Structure 1
Amino acid sequence: MQSLLHPTRSLLRRRLQTSYLSTAATAQQEFPSYLLASPPTSITTFPTGLRVASEHILGSNTATVGVWIDAGSRYETPHNNGAAHFLEHMAFKGTQRRTQYMLEVEIENMGGHLNAYTSREQTVYFAKVFEKDVPRAMDILADILLNSNLDRRAINRERDVILREMKEVNKNPEELTLDHLHATAFADSGLGRTILGPEENIKKLTREDLREYIETHYLAPQMVIAGAGAVDHAQLCDLANYYFGGLKTELNEEQKKSDAVCLDKGKFIGSDVRFHFRSDTMAHISLAYEGSSWTSEYAYPLMILQNLLGSYNRAMAGKADMSKLCHDVAAHELANSISTFNTCYNDTGLFGLYSVVESDKVHDLMTCVTQNLAELAHHITEEDVERAKIALKATMLMGLDGNTNVCEDIGRQLLTYGRRMTPAEIFTRIEEMTADDIRAAAHMVFHNKDHAMAAVGGLDGLPSYEWIRSNSF
């Protein structure tokens, strides 16, 4: 294995040595005209570091505009963990110019839609409106982001709302298990913290804590104003400059010395956490290995590997092109479902499998999974890789269907890559991958590597950490 994989890794590096931050590569293959003729993304960077990026889509009468912020739960501290998500709730509760009722009526009268979400690395606020209402949408976005009242009475009312949301999240076995997975895999870093934060933080976060979060994270270089659809780039730049031109560019000396910002690196730790409920007849198991960052040489090989391993759900019709792992699980009825996930972050990632299994089949499933992972690199063929490439490209194209999805792609790519890659460039990178590259990625992730695991439910048959570790390579 070593003689095959190490040269492959160096070849892969040479092929991908064009930086993700460089000018887009020229597509070397014949692609459909709709890929090569896709609208260009216009990007303007202000002296403050604020970036504005947009894509005008011909024929569109609506637009999505939003603010993507390079800040999420991983950059919070143990003291203020949950602040970003709390602010997401408070943004719609009124500003210095608009009450909550006025905000709701204004959006409704435009026929628009205003939304927000928080992840471990990003906070996003966006609006979907008609073309003529783009200036009003930008005014609203700036108002809720920069001028929120953060009324103490509203904060206290919202605590109960977030606590109820936490209860709903905890009732979802998949979300609960994946939160536990992050907590154990990244126990010593910010990535291990949940997005909602611990219950004690939700109960005690103050107006001052939320204001401090805005002051330390809403900086011009960390923000991207993105737009897609019926958007004029020059107009969007003017609006961004008018509403966001006064943003701070860096922390002051006092803030730099404070503990308000967590900037630690994601450190993967081999570990597991188990919540055994003997009365449960089902188990939810998430088994993961350290994956890749967005800009790693292994990012695209692991995307292909994820599609190659695929998923299986007993409730759905079987697929003839299932991976050997999914075929074995289906043939022996070892799980109700099993799926592959590949989560990228700025400096690390998680690659793994999530399964829902009857408690009396847990041991048999883990035997099947570890055996397949141990043999995976030996079974990958060019035909498997070609099928996975097609599936990956189809998923990516479907993910660009609609103004909002395009806007999301622009904002995310500007924060993760520093630029926007065209579909043609992405397809070129995918097509360059060979079976040797995917074998190298599988070897890198699974061979003699520690894993992290979170399991919830009936776990009587779940093998020990050491058993899984020794049987998966």
Structure 2
Amino acid sequence: MWIDAGSRAETDENNGTAHFLEHLAFKGTSNRTQQQLELEIENMGGHLNAYTSRENTVYFAKAFNSDVPQCVDILSDILQNSKLEESAIERERDVILRESEEVEKQLEEVVFDHLHATAFQHQPLGRTILGPRQNIRDITRTELTNYIKNNYTADRMVLVGSGGVPHEKLVELAEKNFSNLPAQSPHNQAYLLSKQKADFIGSDVRVRDDQIPTANIAIAVEGVSWNDDDYYTALVAQAIVGNYDKAMGNAPHQGSKLSGFVHRNNLANSFMSFSTSYSDTG
């Protein structure tokens, strides 16, 4: 289930809510306990997971074709009937705070967060997915339920099947399991801001830490959206530039001319190219 809501649909005050909800998704519903959820998935040999990005939250299951109806029922239950118990919220709060600490040690993640923050200054796309640590400490059950009420609506959710799943059957399952969803999101301030076209701002940000022995740098230009005719062209350009890692055994022969030049002249330990697209920019 793809939901048109991530950190871009938040405010500065509740930034981190979408990711927090992802952590609580499998902690029990009004129909199933956490243990029952886990056993049900395990008994069908399936896999249940979720992830959050800046523009989407995705809850998904992998299972045999014959178990698709049961999987859709489970996803429906999770998305519409999660209990969000205070005890589970407090447990996951500690987990997310530790996750935040780990992310802060991953220099690539830190650089990309700074890149978004400066390219989309004072805009929803500039926020991080996990949110500030103070927000993680302060997020309440009310904020979590409000986020669901404001964003988990029929006009912003798409049930997707891949593999041997007949389209007509999936439509039937959607009608059966999701017919009670609110038809439309309330057009509150957070919603309206999230739908404004993002402005890419040429700028830079530099964070100095002399305890780190290397420079970790990201350079970006305004790219293309998912809907742009040049979306795949940008991905091809990314592939041509390629990636390089000095630690790899085949480092001198990793394909692109740039990789060879960097290796021969000892210019960097590694580099990667990226093309990151959103609904209206990139």
Q: Shared fold by TM > 0.5?
A: yes
Matches within 5 A, 1:49-128: 67-128=1-62
Say yes or no: does 1:218 pair with 2:152: yes
SS at match of 1:153: helix
Residue 76 of structure 1 contacts residue 261 of structure 1 at CA under 8 Å; is this kept in 2?
A: no
Say yes or no: does 1:307 pair with 2:205: no
Q: 2: CA distance between counterparts of 1:128 and 1:105?
A: 15
Aligned to 1:177: 111
Aligned to 1:283: 215
Aligned length, in residue pairs: 279
Q: 1:101 to 1:332 in 2, by over 3 A?
A: same
Q: 1: CA distance between counterparts of 2:48 and 2:4?
A: 20
Aligned to 1:330: 263
Matches within 5 A, 1:189-338: 189-251=123-185, 255-259=186-190, 262-263=193-194, 264-316=196-248, 317=250, 318-319=252-253, 321-323=255-257, 325-338=258-271
- Measured after TM superposition, the shift of residue 257 of structure 1 is 4.4
Say yes or no: does 1:348 pair with 2:281: yes
Q: 1: CA distance between counterparts of 2:60 and 2:211?
A: 44
Q: 2: CA distance between counterparts of 1:261 and 1:88?
A: 23
Q: 1: CA distance between counterparts of 2:142 and 2:247?
A: 50
- Measured after TM superposition, the shift of residue 108 of structure 1 is 1.2
Residue 293 of structure 1 contacts residue 347 of structure 1 at CA under 8 Å; is this kept in 2?
A: yes
Q: 2: CA distance between counterparts of 1:135 and 1:299?
A: 34
- Measured after TM superposition, the shift of residue 199 of structure 1 is 0.9
Residue 29 of structure 2 contacts residue 81 of structure 2 at CA under 8 Å; is this kept in 1?
A: yes
Aligned partner letter, 2:226: W
Map Cα deviations across residues 148-178 of structure 1 (whole Å, 9 max, x no partner): 0011221122110100111111111111111
Q: Looking at secondary structure, tell me which structure has more strand per residue.
A: 1
Query: What percentage of residue pairs aligned between the two structures are identical?
Result: 53
Q: 2: CA distance between counterparts of 1:295 and 1:227?
A: 21
- Structure 1 unmatched ranges of 5 or more: 1-66, 350-473
Q: 2: CA distance between counterparts of 1:268 and 1:297?
A: 19
Q: 111-120 vs 171-180, which deviates more?
A: 171-180
Map Cα deviations across residues 358-412 of structure 1 (whole Å, 9 max, x no partner): xxxxxxxxxxxxxxxxxxxxxxxxxxxxxxxxxxxxxxxxxxxxxxxxxxxxxxx
- Measured after TM superposition, the shift of residue 344 of structure 1 is 0.7
- Measured after TM superposition, the shift of residue 328 of structure 1 is 2.6
Higher CA-based Rg: 1
- Measured after TM superposition, the shift of residue 327 of structure 1 is 3.2
- Structure 2 unmatched ranges of 5 or more: none
Aligned to 1:131: 65
CA RMSD of the aligned region, Å?
Answer: 1.6
Say yes or no: does 1:156 pair with 2:90: yes
Residue 242 of structure 2 contacts residue 255 of structure 2 at CA under 8 Å; is this kept in 1?
A: no
Map Cα deviations across residues 267-301 of structure 1 (whole Å, 9 max, x no partner): 11122222212132212111111111122233233
Residue 77 of structure 1 contacts residue 261 of structure 1 at CA under 8 Å; is this kept in 2?
A: no
SS at match of 1:342: coil
**4+ residue runs over 3 A deviation:** 257-262
Map Cα deviations across residues 55-88 of structure 1 (whole Å, 9 max, x no partner): xxxxxxxxxxxx0111111121111111111110
- Measured after TM superposition, the shift of residue 260 of structure 1 is 6.3
TM-score by length of 2: 0.93
Residue 116 of structure 1 contacts residue 126 of structure 1 at CA under 8 Å; is this kept in 2?
A: yes
Map Cα deviations across residues 166-208 of structure 1 (whole Å, 9 max, x no partner): 1111111111111111111111211110111111111111111
Q: 236-245 vs 273-282, which deviates more?
A: 273-282
Aligned to 2:272: 339
